[in-house]
Amino acid sequence: MKNQIKARILFPSQVAVLALASAIAIPAMAQQTQQPGNSQSAPASAQQTPTSTPPATLTQPIPDAKEGFWGRVNPMARKKWVKKRIDPINDRLTELDQVNAKNASDIKDVDARAQAGIKKAQDSADAANQVATAAGD
């Protein structure tokens, strides 16, 4: 009878240990990187062709260096890490602002030249109209 009681007392603790071990083991296995020998996704990426061309002033890619205990999944971002990620974006935004300003000035220049051409044509038409009116009189 004591053996039955021990089996009933040990069984729930064994289930608890098994549940705890699986709760720890499953996320740990999910975080491990894929082995180089198991590359099933490599042929799929080799078949893809680039659909668009990169911009002429492409900045250097950000290196994927592991930082700290957590690796790439650091729950607290540092100023240096954020600055390293934001700098290429800010550089690109500055470049786009410069291009936008240049385009705006080019548009104003073309508009001014077009308005000057229209005014010159209007003046020529008015002069021709006056000459035609004078000839008709």
- Any idea what the Cα angle at residue 20 is, between residues 18 and 25, rounded to 5°? 90
Look up residue 50 and give its amino acid: P
- Per-residue pLDDT at 127 exceeds 90: yes
Nearest Cα to 81, choosing from 90, 68, 95?
68
* Rounded Cα distance, 54 and 26, in Å: 40
Position 99 scores a pLDDT of 96
Tens digits of residue pLDDT in 58-83: 556 665 555 555 566 656 778 888 89
Summarised one tens digit per residue, pLDDT across range 81-108 is: 889 889 999 999 999 999 999 999 999 9
